[in-house]
């Protein structure tokens, strides 16, 4: 009886680890240890157990673990836009004050991410780190550009936009999209503006026309947190 009680948590943990490995391109032993409140040594033993059971785990020295590409992929796959929409829903739920809602949505999304195509997993993780929601999400704004912008962020595609400012001034900009920021219902696109040669905030509902160009740009090597620390004091609109 005691043996069964001891093994149940481990069986549950092994199952969860498989799901987590499938939901990300790369995952560290430290992350798994913190996630399951066990030691890193225990995670090492779990990984060996999974490998012995036939799970094709790939170990990248000094980086982490992943599931061999193509393993256990179901026939039904999400489109890029559908995957991006799920990540946005997850980030909204995380900022909800009801802890039970945010925890269960995150758990459900993690399972869904496990069946994304291999190439989408890295994009999903990237997008999750480039979306920030703050304040009360009560004000409704009209826009149909969010999905294209999310895709451009993950694929590093240059956008050409026709933008109408608060002062009713219309300009055409070539921008390198970086992140999405929402405060009190206003969705803002943080992007490097080639006209101003600096980062700017664009209200997404003020974008009157958007074209995703074939041109790509070099990734901006910083997190959204680092961006806020560096630029938020000098926050500027176009």
Instruction: Give CA separation, 157 vs 80, 215, 227, in Å.
Output: 14, 6, 19
More confident residue, 56 or 146: 56
CATH class of 146-234: mainly beta
Average pLDDT of span 145-151: 83
Q: pLDDT tens across 156-197, in order?
A: 999 999 999 888 899 999 999 999 887 766 778 999 999 999
Average pLDDT of span 34-57: 89
Portion of the chain with pLDDT greater than 90, in percent: 27
pLDDT for residue 8 is more than 60? no
The secondary element (H helix, E strand) that includes residue 100 is helix 99-113
Residue 71's pLDDT band (cuts 50, 70, 90): low
Decide: helix, strand or coil at residue 220. Answer: coil
Highest mean predicted confidence (pLDDT) among 71-75, 101-105, 158-162, 194-198: 158-162
pLDDT for residue 75 is more than 70? no
pLDDT score recorded for residue 117? 55
Q: Are strands 170-183 and 57-60 parallel, antiparallel or unpaired?
A: unpaired
Return residue ranges of the chain for CATH 1.10.10.10. 2-67
DSSP letter, residue 96: S
Q: What is the DSSP string of 3-60?
A: HHHHHHHHHHHHHHHHHHHHHSS-B-HHHHHHHHT--HHHHHHHHHHHHHTT--EEEE
Give the global pTM.
Answer: 0.51
Decide: helix, strand or coil at residue 231. Answer: helix
**Assigned fold of 2-67:** Arc Repressor Mutant, subunit A (1.10.10)
More confident residue, 196 or 134: 196
pLDDT score recorded for residue 122? 62
């Amino acid at each position: 009886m005691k043996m069964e009680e001891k093994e149940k948590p481990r069986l549950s943990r092994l199952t969860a680890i498989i799901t987590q490995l499938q939901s990300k391109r790369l995952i560290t032993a430290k992350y798994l240890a913190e996630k399951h409140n066990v030691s890193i040594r225990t995670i090492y033993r779990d990984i060996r157990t999974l490998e012995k059971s036939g799970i094709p785990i790939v170990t990248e020295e000094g980086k982490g673990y992943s599931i061999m590409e193509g393993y256990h992929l179901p026939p039904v796959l999400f489109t890029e836009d559908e995957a991006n929409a799920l990540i946005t829903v997850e980030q909204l739920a995380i900022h909800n004050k009801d802890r039970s809602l945010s925890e269960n949505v995150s758990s459900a999304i993690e399972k869904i991410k496990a069946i994304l195509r291999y190439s989408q997993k890295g994009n999903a993780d990237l997008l999750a780190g480039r979306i920030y929601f703050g304040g009360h999400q009560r004000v409704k704004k009209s826009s149909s550009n969010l999905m294209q912008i999310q895709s451009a962020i993950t694929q590093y595609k240059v956008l050409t936009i026709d933008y109408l400012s608060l002062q009713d001034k219309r300009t055409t900009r070539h921008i390198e999209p970086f992140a999405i920021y929402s405060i009190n219902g206003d969705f803002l696109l943080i992007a490097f503006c080639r006209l101003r040669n600096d980062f700017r905030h664009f209200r997404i509902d003020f974008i009157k026309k958007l074209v995703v160009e074939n041109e790509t740009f070099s990734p901006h090597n910083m997190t959204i947190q680092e961006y806020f620390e560096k630029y938020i004091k000098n926050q500027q609109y176009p």
